[in-house]
Every structure is written in structure tokens, then in C-alpha cells.
Amino acid sequence: MASVNDLGQPVGEQLFGWRVPPHPPRRELAGSLVRLEPLAAERHAASLHAANQLDSQGRNWTYLGYGPFAEVGDYAAWIDTNCRGPDPLFYAIVEQDCDLATGVASYLRIAPPSGTIEIGHINFSPRLQRTAAATEAIYLLLRQAFALGYRRCEWKCDALNSASRAAALRFGLSFEGIFRQAAVVKGRNRDTAWYAAIDREWPALAAAFGRWLDGSNFDSAGRQRVSLAALTRQARRIALGADDALGAAPDRLLSP
């Protein structure tokens, strides 16, 4: 909430007791369905490339700034060149039941002095898409970001990427607007859609993820009883209050 300084000007709230969070450590994040391992070509390139080949049309790569990779050696070389640094901090998403890497995600634009961090470079192979394992992977990244003390976790995507925009809302991030002509990707203009969750929302969102991921939320055929989107919408209302205009604003730009 805003306050007023000695000059009568509105200023942001004083962050008493807030500390600059550490950079995320390069370590494994373990869940029930997946574990996130720091991405390494020698361990993950072969299984990731095989999983990505199930996307025969290369649709997963349309909105990424790289790929597709026809040969596993090309993919391994790209990982070695681009994915070993601290920012972006890349993870391979390894399914616990088969011990195979079937997706990638990262932290990026990590800014401890501001308490902000982004989740991006998301590439779920067809095997991982629309699974509880994929949802748990995002949950693990959100959980660690807020546990480390980050105040804000961002999600940005091409404004034309309707799947990514729907996913951001499903995961409980609030739509914040469009940055027009924000980038050039593969020779094309990119308008960027912004989403974010903040620390005061996280306890309610974490409870929503926990309820959705619980085994009791799925019937014997694996069908969900309550959708994550419904749970996170309720969580945002609880966290922000009905009078929070930004948190309540729908992403109307999903429809043409």
C-alpha cells in the first residue's frame, strides 16, 4: 500500500525487514512426479531430443528464439553453449517414473536487489504436456523462488502464444499487459504479454497447487475432479481481495 512522505507525495510502502534474496542455487528440485536437474548436455540431451522428436511438426519451437534441432549433436552443442550459466538457470524436467528428461524450463532475468525473477524457456515435449508432472514442475520453480525470498515471479511470452498465456493464468499468475514491439524473434516482431505472481499471493496459490496435485483430486481414470484454474482463481481472490483491480482483470487479449 502507498503512504505519504514528509513532502505530501505518495510513495511506496516501506519494506521493513525485507532482505535481498540469494541467487537460486544450481541444485536439484525434487517433487513426487518430477525432479528438476540442472540441465547438462551429457546427461539430458539424448532423452530430451528423443522426446522432442514426438513433436513432428516442430510446433513447440515456434515462439522460442532457437530450435528446432534436427540432430541430437546440434541440440547438445546448443545446451553446452547456452545453458551452463547462472542466468538463465536451465533445468531438465525428469519424470520420476521413467528417469527420462522430457522437458526444459529455466529461471531468467534474476534480479535479487529488486526481488524479481522470471520463469521461462519452457519447452514441454508432447509426452509431458497436459500432465500433472508438468504442473508440478512449474510449482517447484514457483515454490523455490518465493522460499528464497523473491517478491515477484514473472512469466512473459509472445502475445500470440495463446497456449502459454492460458497456462500462465491456470498457474495463478495475473495478466499485467502487453509490451508492444518488445523484441525481434526469428526475424519477426514480438509483442510480449506479461504475467506475474507476488509473494503475498503465494500462500493461497501454493495451497491451490497442493490441493490440485493431491491424489484425491483425480478419479480412477486420472481425470481431475477440480481444475487448477478454478482453484487458482479462488486463491487470487483470497490473496488480493475483490477490490484489487489488476488482480481481478481478465486477460481479454486471449480472444481476437
Q: Per residue in 87-113, is it b (16+ CB within 10 Å) or e — as a string? A: ebbbbbbbbeeeebbbbbbbbbebbbe
Please report the DSSP string for 149-215 in residue order: T-SEEEEEEETT-HHHHHHHHHTTPEEEEEEEEEEEETTEEEEEEEEEEEGGGHHHHHHHHHHHHSG
Per the model's pLDDT, the better-predicted residue between 239 and 225 turns out to be 225
CA 249 to CA 191: how far, in whole Å?
19
CA 102 to CA 126: how far, in whole Å?
8
- pTM here? 0.92
Side-chain-side CA neighbours of 116 within 13 Å: the count stands at 8
Burial class (CB in 10 A: 0-12, 13-18, 19+), 151: middle
- Within 8 A by CB and 6+ apart from 122, the residues are 103, 104, 105, 106, 164
Cell numbers at residue 255, please? 480472444
CA 15 to CA 144: how far, in whole Å?
21
Whether domain 21-244 has CATH 1.20.1270.360: the reply is no
pLDDT of residue 61: 98
Chain-centre distance of CA 128, in angstroms? 15
- 80-111 tens-digit pLDDT: 999 999 999 999 999 999 999 999 999 999 99
pLDDT of residue 50: 98
CA 127 to CA 140: how far, in whole Å?
19
Query: How does residue 2 score in pLDDT terms, banded at 50, 70 and 90?
Result: confident
Query: How does residue 251 score in pLDDT terms, banded at 50, 70 and 90?
Result: low
For the segment 184-212, the average pLDDT, to the nearest whole number, is 97
Mark residue 121 as left, alpha or beta (left: phi above 0; alpha: psi -120 to 50; beta: remaining).
left
CA 3 to CA 25: how far, in whole Å?
35
Instruction: Give whole-number Cα distances, 77 to 37, 38, 46, 81, 174, in Å.
Output: 18, 16, 12, 6, 36
Three-state SS for 13? coil
For the chain, the average pLDDT equals: 93
CA 165 to CA 194: how far, in whole Å?
9
Neighbours of 231 (CB within 10 A): 21
Query: Are 24 and 139 contacting, i.e. CB atoms less than 8 angstroms apart?
Result: no
